[in-house]
Amino acid sequence: MKVVCQRDKLLAAFQTASAVAPARSTKPILQNVKLEVRDGLATLVATDLEIGVRVDVPGVDVDAAGSVILPTGRFGSILRESSDQMLRLEAEARGTLVRGERSEFHLLGENPDEYPAVSGFQESAYQEVSARLFREMIRRTVFATDNESTRYALGGVLLEFAADQLTAVGTDGRRLATMHGPAKAVGGHQVADGTAIVPTKAMHLLERALVDPDAEIRLAVKAGTVLVQAGASTVSSRLVEGRFPRWRDVFPQRQDASRVEVMVGPFYAAVRQAAILTSDETRGVDFTFGEGRVVLTGRAAELGQSRVELPIGYDGPSIGITLDPRFVTDFLKVLDPESNFKIELKDSASAAVCSTSDGYGYVIMPLAREH
């Protein structure tokens, strides 16, 4: 194998691929990234046996086909520290020669034939969705997942497929985030039960791989696996097995609730301020809406008390609720600070329901009010 690559493009692709390689494994070869070169194309491959990724590297000059195993830490350091625009990689008897204009590295490596196969995207039936939309779906739902749950399969994001729509849902049982948007089923793509739960780690990897917001991505689900093609990257992952909660039941249908519209940026700042004087034991912040303002109060016996007031356009009946400020800020920080959102409240014992105009919904269960 002999290939000449642009260092910056190789670095970007290597960072995406190496995110999958485990730091420790009973199969040491998995702690590396495999480089495959053939037919004028170089591809970086990595897997932890649950999630796999293939990243094509543009701008390569192939002199000879073949493959090598690259150690993630050392080779990544070479790519970052080198000042060369182009690097030449060549297979040696026991590893890889990496040569720049004034540098040379001989990396020992394992036999590339022993690296597990990682699937590419060969599907003719798939769901097509905007990369910009899918990236927002990941950002706005993945933080609400729970890898520790034993009762439900909450360690991933639920994807619901329809002929013209895709819905993503994440929950840990105390809050729930969901977003939907347009998508197109191509080639008669159908999913059993219309849903699939994609592991949290795979969703984070997909977010990293979505570098071109104007691209279209392809998702295909079959035999307990999801395949996603995003530009030069293809991610494959086993699906999370188990039962996901009936998430639509979490969104209450309330006619008697109060609805308040608030700007994201000022509200985010007020929540962060009020949370300064809370603790793990008294982590709740009291939110009181009424008289054209919202008053946020935090307290901790060993720290003191905070009170933050924010003017808002709400003059309805006074209503109060105690919420975990971490759950509130998780929602706010994925939104544009200049945008508005609506919060729907019934009473101190009922869930707070937040929503935006672009298909995003978020439910937070209240905490018991401290007295």
> How far is it, in rounded angstroms, from Cα 359 to Cα 371?
37
Residue 186 has pLDDT above 70, yes or no: yes
DSSP label at residue 215 = S
Polymer length in residues for the chain: 371
Neighbour tally for 46: CB within 10 Å: 27
Dist. CA 240–CA 13, nearest whole Å? 26
Supply 51's token pair.
């999630």
Higher pLDDT, 192 or 189: 189
* Highest mean pLDDT (candidates 22-26, 212-216, 287-291): 287-291
Helix or strand or coil: residue 97? Answer: strand
- Mention every residue, 6+ apart, whose C-beta is less than 8 A from residue 122: none
Instruction: Centre a 10 Å sphere on the Cβ of residue 54 and count the other Cβ atoms it contains.
Output: 23
Are the CB atoms for 345 and 260 separated by under 8 Å?
A: yes
The 10s digit of each residue's pLDDT in 36-94 is 998 889 999 999 999 999 999 988 999 999 999 999 999 999 999 999 999 999 999 88
- Reduce the DSSP state of residue 159 to 3 states and report it: strand
Rg (the chain; Cα; Å)? 25
Whether the predicted pLDDT of 160 surpasses 80: yes
Q: In the structure, what pLDDT confidence band is assigned to residue 107 with cuts at 50, 70 and 90?
A: very high
Q: What is the pLDDT of residue 369?
A: 65
Between these two residues, 360 and 148, which has the higher pLDDT value?
360
pTM, to two decimals: 0.91
For residue 88, give Cα distances in angstroms to 10, 75, 82, 134, 150.
Answer: 11, 13, 12, 36, 49
Mean pLDDT of 141-169: 92
Each residue's pLDDT tens digit, 297-312: 998 878 899 999 999 9
Whether 370 shows a pLDDT value over 60: the answer reads no
Q: Outline where the chain has alpha helix (H).
A: 7-18, 72-81, 131-141, 200-209, 264-274, 325-332
Between 4-8, 158-162, 188-192, 333-337, the lowest mean confidence (pLDDT) is in: 188-192
Q: Which domains does the chain have, with CATH numbers?
A: 2-114 (3.10.150.10), 126-248 (3.10.150.10), 251-364 (3.10.150.10)
Separation of alpha carbons 49 and 69, rounded Å:
16
- The secondary structure of residue 317, as a DSSP letter, is -
Q: What is the pLDDT at residue 300? A: 85
